[in-house]
Structure 1
Amino acid sequence: MTAAPRRLARATLGSRARLRWVHQLLGGALLMPFYLLANTVLALFVPGTSIFMSPSIGWQFATFALALPPAAVTGLYPLARPLMGGAVRALCGVPKEELDPRPSRSWAARVRTAAWYVLHLLTGGIVSGMSLATPPAALYLLVLPLLGDHGRAHDTGWVAFFRGPGLALAPAAGLGLLALVVATSWAAGSLLARCAPVLLGPTPADRLAEAERHAMRLALRNRLARELHDSVGHALSAVSLQASAARRVLDSDPEFARQALAAIEETTREAVGELDTVLGLLREDGPASSAPAPTLAGLDGLLRRTRAAGGEVDCAAPRDLEKIPPVVSREAYRIVQEGLSNALRHAGRVPVRLRITLDDEDLEVTLENPVRPAAAPRRPGGGRGLTGIAERARLLRGSAASGERDGVWRLSVRLPLRGDAR
């Protein structure tokens, strides 16, 4: 057998084709209650008919057509989509990524599911009927030349075509009928497999909603990463420096060591509170922490803890920091916190110049510190602080710039006071 016939045989008689044929038989079985209901309704309203006898082929097709509308109504049930999707994945070979496993939530999804159900029952009814009626007729035609007079005794209807010389064509006609069933089943299965992602997959509205939910989850993850990096990261850096300073002067300057230990206690207390606030964003089964996020109103405490860690900070800020909008004030606090933490971590005990200016439109934060020639080695896994600062500024429609010039590292951030957060 050459390659082309082998591929044709595999496509029409292979395991996938057989599973799709079973799927269509399932559709025919699901159609039967609606077919019997339609047959009963027609028998009640058409004189001279009976529910136990179909007068003609036309009657059967009319009953078949009448059975589809009530089937479409049942397809509107929300749970119909995951049930049908499971059968499609198992029997039609459609990847689960192309189907929506959730119940239908909108009328658009329900209508598409109902359309799929009607298509499944329509093709399933046709293939099931052919699978039941055609094989006996095909077998009869295959053995008709061997029956002799017994076969000619039944030369009625369509069998009469094979009288005389036409008898030699009976086996070929039988094989043709079987091939017709196989071809019809293959075509119907391919049609259902092609239509399944369109009718049982996510609607455009579902895809848009899922994209929005993904964007919200990503934004929340980025927010949590920034908060943890700026709050807990800063606290750990400050505690490390404070403990190091206390250890060096423990014998020579006990008073400074006590101040450093007190600063460690205060820093860790603040860090635990901020950590609880951040983790509150993750709790879905309980209330979030009521501890407010720090703002520029707590700038003095931040400067005190930084100085206790060995930093020299020269700060110039307006007195009315409490009047800054809360969102802007929170983000500005985190930016100052991260800037001071970077200075301590990378430059060491160098003087830091902090300037906060405020006008009717913008809040500007500027931090400057000299760069030591032998700066501390870069911490593995670090480098996200400046990225977080830029993200915070961008979310408030502001800007951030940083860089070294003439031996001085400068961080400059502008935050609009009336800019809506994105």
Structure 2
Amino acid sequence: MTEAKKYGFTTTILHSDRQKSIEHGSLHKPIHTSVAFGYKDARQLASVFQGKESGYRYGRQGNPTVSALEDKITGMEGGLSTICFATGMAAIGAVVQGLLRAGDHVVSSAFLFGNTNSLWQTVGAQGVSVSMVDATDVANVEAALTEATRLVFVETIANPRTQVADMQRIGDLCRARGILFIVDNTMTSPYLFQPKRVGAGLVVNSLTKSIGGHGNALGGALTDTGEYDWTRYPHIAANYRRNPAPQWGMTQIRAKGLRDFGASLGPEAAHKIAVGAETMALRQQRECTTALALAQMLEADPHVAAVHYPGLASHPQHALATELFRSYGSLLSFELRPEVDCFDYLNRLQLAIPASNLGDTRTLVIPVAHTIFYEMGAERRAAMGIAESLIRVSVGLEDTADLVEDFRQAMPD
């Protein structure tokens, strides 16, 4: 058999739909809006429900348009399979719903997206203990492990302070202990980094961000990389163990986290995300270049107290980020000195837009302590290093010189 030719990242994404037949020769997988799927042979319907052959049962559990996107994400991450969800948080929630039980223990990075941090607080009140640690050093993760630890969860680059987790060493530790390692790849995207390389068993992506890239569709994904041995996971139900062992985890998550919990991605959103993904690498290249230029300008400005961006030599994990990632991402944050009011500064920006999303085509800014991290309170913000003047920037596609000048001109005279 002739081995399939391997193409580059963008070429593979562009032509992934055409690896399977598409109705009427369409270049994109069409939008299938049907909720129900009929079969001429009732025995085939039963066979699909019993998992004996592939097919579609009901829109909440799968859809041809969504399946095409799942194949695309699987290819990006170099994985075995992907499940798409309505949002990135739904993807993380499906892990909780599908894999964790009362009495289990989770080790998580303390430097997390605010809603993920909130989810772990909720889980902690439901009988699953969670240890929040500084994951930039594997020693902190190892010290927190217990006999009940079922998984370790980190983000590649933390939102919003941009700490970089010690992922290679954490992955080695988890592999040696038989613990599931989960990496949220949203801040890097599969173009800049594949967590499979560091032993992650499951990878989370918020499809809303850089993969979809246009701020017009919500979505999330969970990819099984094939790096975790599911025979070592204690909570796989007997009926899911009838499948080959590499499928156990995703079979249970699809049933318990998608079918039962119902956080399904709609076909219209899936189509928008799939089309947006085709230009992800091109967008990321431009955004990363601009983000570095903007970070360098801000670091040199006397009105700025600190800049947090892994591409800067001053960043504590700059060497680690250089080792791990293709580039340093489109997210940065900076702190203004006390004499500069962060709201007045933001109001003087002419191109950057005050808004809460990330990975959009337009540059978005937000005063972190007063918005997305306000609910957690001043004490918890201080513990996470979130200054009251911290501004998060999601760099978009504006011309680099225009954007840098916009942030410069907003500084006081």
Higher strand share: 2
**Rg larger in 1 or in 2?**
1
Q: TM-score range, shorter-chain basis? A: under 0.3
Higher RCO, Cα 8 Å, sep 6+: 2
Structure 2 length-normalised TM = 0.18
TM-score w.r.t. length of structure 1: 0.18
